[in-house]
Amino acid sequence: MSAPQIGVLALQGDVREHLAALSAVGADPIPVRRRSELDAVDALLIPGGESTTISLLLRELELTEPLRDRLADGMPAYGSCAGMILLASEILDAGARGRAATALGGIDMAVRRNAFGRQVDSFEGDIDFEGLDEPVHAVFIRAPWVERIGPNVQVLAQAAGHPVAVRQGRVLATSFHPEVTGDRRIHRLFVDIVAGQA
């Protein structure tokens, strides 16, 4: 069986780190910056970065609606940090009009941006993650959290009393950055989701 082609949205953020992590767990990762590249992949990973900047670039490159359409058609996706924000159906404190973060509607949830505080409030720690035997070392950088989930959303991990990892069908999101720790289990989970094995 050929490796799934997983795109990494390459507009801003930890693109290289996610490409390396996906490659390490058997995927065929490709940077996505154009509509033709989005159309060619089996799934998409949206990395951390700055959600309003990524949203602005999506609009400028005319990728917002094609990405929404692919998600609505069932394309598997994974978003970390800013990617979690963009995959939400509702963004609390989305930002100033014209530079607001764009909700793509991949997961029925409301997400609060920078919920844990500013850059200086960034932290890391071990958290339990549903389905994994050992805790995940999670790095939170200006991280969001989930304030509301729909009935079909599964909470996979929590921190400070809020969901920080969720899944709805073939769409996964974490408010932390697994690409920076060397622990590839969440990327492997996503590849398994894409392959229909999780």
Residues marked active site are found at 81, 177, 179
- The answer to whether 105 touches 72, Cβ cutoff 8 Å, is yes
Does 68 count as an annotated binding residue?
Answer: no
Q: What is the number of other CB atoms lying within 10 angstroms of the CB of residue 75?
A: 19
Does 51 count as an annotated binding residue?
Answer: yes
Amino acid (1-letter code) at residue 16: R
Does 113 count as an annotated binding residue?
Answer: yes
DSSP-assigned beta bridge partners for residue 92: 112
Does 127 count as an annotated binding residue?
Answer: no
- Scanning the structure block, which residue is given the tokens 């069986």? 1
According to DSSP, residue 49 is labeled S
The CB-side HSE value for 15 (13 A sphere, CA atoms) comes to: 13
Does 49 count as an annotated binding residue?
Answer: yes
Amino acid (1-letter code) at residue 139: V
Does 50 count as an annotated binding residue?
Answer: yes
Binding site listing for L-glutamine: 49-51, 113, 141-142
Binding site listing: 49-51, 113, 141-142
